[in-house]
Structure formats: C-alpha cells, structure tokens
Amino acid sequence: MTTLHLLQPFSSFPGRTKPLESAKCTRTTTQNGSIFAVGVRFHGGAHKCKFYNHRRYSAPIFGITNTDDGQPPVCVSDENTNTNHAPSPKLQTLLSKWSPPKYLWRGLSVLILAGQVIIRILKGRVHWRNTLQQLERVGPRSVGVCLLTSAFVGMAFTIQFVREFTRLGLNRSVGAVLALAFSRELSPVITSIVVAGRIGSAFAAELGTMQVSEQTDTLRVLGSNPVDYLVTPRVIATCVSLPILTLMCFTIGLASSALLADSVYGVSVNIILDSAQRALRPWDIVSAMIKSQVFGGIIAVVSCSWGVTTLGGAKGVGESTTSAVVISLVCIFIADFALSCCFFQGAGDSLKNM
C-alpha cells in the first residue's frame, strides 16, 4: 500500500504563496513536535531539509515541481505502510466465500424496517399530511386498473367453470363457486398483484433514487427520520387502501361473471346472486380484508426496504425496483398460503344448501 505525505510545510519555503493542488497536505509529528522520518533528506532547488528521530518509517523523499507558480518544489514521501496486521489472503478468501448473500441482508432489513414502522405507529409518530398524499396515490389512482383487471379475470374464470357446471346440471352452484373463489382467493390476490406492480415499483424507484442521490441523508441532517417521513405513510396508505380496493374488485368481478353467464350460457343473474348469497359467510369477506391488509403491508415494507438499501446509481435503482416487485409477489403467494391454512381448516359446508 502506497500513500503520499507532505512532510515539509509550505511556510518553510521563502516566497511560496500557492499550495500544491495534486497532493494532500498532512503533518506527521511526534508528541514533542518533531517530524516522523528517519535519516531522510529533501533537496528542492536551493533548499535542503533533513528529518531525523523516528524508528518506524524509512521512506524515500522526492521533489515535485510546481509548474503553476514557478515556486520551489515540495517534499513528498512515498511511504510503504506496514501491513503485518492485514488479513492473510487465505483468510480473506474464506471470509468472502462464507459471507452471507445480499438477499439475506435485505431480508433482515425488511424485518427491521417492519418493526420500526410498527413501533412508530403505536407511538403515534405519523406524518398525516404525507399519509393523505400517499392514500390518494395508492387508492383512487389505482381503482381503474384494479377494476378492469378484476372484471376480465372474473369473466375468464366464469368461462372455465360455467361450461362444466352447466353440462353437469349444476346451474344453481355456479354463483356459489364464483362468490367463494372471488372472496377467498381471487380478489385479494389479484388486487395485490396489481398494486405491487403499480405502487410497489413506484415506491422502490422513488426511495432508491432518493437514497443514491443522498436525499435521505439530507433528511437526517434536517432532523427528520426517513422512516417517519417516507416509509410509515406509505405503509399506512397501502394497508388502508388495499382492503377497499379488494372489496370493489370482488363486487365488479362477481357482477361481470354473472352478466357473462347470463348472456352466453343462459344462467340467470338471479340464480347466480341467490346461490352466492346462500354460500357466502361474513367470515369470507372478513378473511379477504385481513389478507389484503397483510398483502398491503408486505408490498409497502418490501418495496420501501429495497428502495432505502439501493446502491450503485441508476443501475442499482433499476435492479432494486425489479427485485422489489418480484420479492413482493413471492411473499404475497407465501402469505396467501399460510393465511388460507389458518382461516379455512377442516371440511367446508358452504355448498351444502345448494
């Protein structure tokens, strides 16, 4: 390892008024004020300097001519630093081989960030103005794409089921199956996928850009915690908006399915709605709301965590955005399976009255 030290101060050269721009000026002295050097000589034009009385360094000294102002050269030491305490190459290879992957650290950061958000919400440390802005961004601006997606998924799902049920003469069970499928599974999952693609990517890209441009550091300097100001409002807005969007998607999906079944397969809308009413329980709607809240928290926390841990400039922002959406979707599917196992155990009786 080679470092540069300016051993002789500029003031010792008569007539020198401009500093050397290409070297870092450091003064290396002992406790009594003498300079760290051993038997070293400096020759700079008409100037000769000698430095003694140190037993650690033995560094060659050479002069660099300052061509900008025509002043005498300065003294620079090319020092070979003692590296006896540096890790051995084998140890460095072992540490790099067994170092945890980046996704493990980011996974831990997600858990830590989730804990910080929960603590701040319980303490009431919420920026309500930012929260209202994020509510408008997540909720009303996502209604159109969510409803359109739910309508077409519902009609595609209806085509697959109604044609088989009508062949078996189970027309009265069509509405019940559609209602249960939409309330328990399709509506919360489809809504979460749309929000993850639209809102989660926006959160990750926005916070990632703020991180690489050091805007989050500016917030800390100004006395604002980035978790309070940036993350918590987004988590609250997503957890509040997603259940409402899920309920709207359930209504539109079931309505589009009933209209398609009536117009194409001849199954009356009244029959579909009556069977849906018989099969649905209040817990089916409540479970959909709980699922959507959990999914909303996953989307917001994962996206914000991936954003605030972004490195590498514009390329890092793009990678974090893509990774945030992918990880959010994987976590949504895992959480959906876990919640379904907890909410719906044992034999079902929703279709016994059909």
Residue 351 lies in a domain: no
Is residue 98 domain-resident? Answer: no
pLDDT for 298 equals 95
Average pLDDT (127-139) is 90
Query: pLDDT tens digit string along 169-188?
Result: 777 888 888 899 999 999 99
Burial class, 305, CB count within 10 angstroms (exposed 0-12 / middle 13-18 / buried 19+)? buried
Residue with tokens 């993350």: 231
- 134 shares a domain with 59: no
Q: Within a domain: residue 93?
A: no
Q: State the average pLDDT over residues 21-30.
A: 41
Across the range 89-113, mean pLDDT stands at: 65
Q: Looking at the predicted structure, is the pLDDT value of residue 351 above 70?
A: no
Q: Are residues 70 and 121 in the same domain?
A: no
Residue 292 in contact with residue 249, Cβ under 8 Å? no
- Among 44-48, 161-165, 226-230, 252-256, where is mean pLDDT lowest? 44-48
Q: Does the structure show a pLDDT above 60 at 344?
A: yes
Residue 268 sits in the same domain as residue 196: yes
As a whole number of angstroms, the distance between CA 231 and CA 131 comes to 10
Pair 28, 155 in one domain: no
Instruction: Assess whether 190 and 259 both reside in one domain.
Output: yes
Are residues 266 and 175 part of one domain? Answer: yes
Could you give the CA distance from residue 27 to residue 57 in angstroms, rounded to a whole number?
A: 14
User: Do 65 and 131 belong to one domain?
Assistant: no
Q: What is the mean pLDDT of residues 191-219?
A: 91
pLDDT at 222: 85
Q: Are 261 and 202 in contact (CB under 8 A)?
A: no
What total number of domains does the chain contain? 2
Q: Are 107 and 72 within one domain? A: no
Give residue-wise pLDDT tens across range 208-256. Answer: 999 888 888 888 888 888 888 899 999 999 999 999 999 999 999 999 9
Is 354 contained in some domain? Answer: no
Count of positions (residues) in the chain: 354
CA 295 to chain centre: 15
Q: Is residue 96 part of a domain?
A: no
Question: Phi, psi at residue 21, to the nearest 5°?
Answer: -80, -20
The reply to whether 179 and 67 lie within a common domain is no
Q: What is the DSSP-derived secondary structure letter of residue 351?
A: T
Separation between Cα atoms, residue 344 and residue 347, nearest integer Å: 9
- Who wins on pLDDT, 123 or 62? 123
Residue 95 within any structural domain of the chain? no
Round to whole Å and give the CA distance between 113 and 326. 19
- Domain span at residue 146? 103-342
Q: What is the pLDDT of residue 174?
A: 85
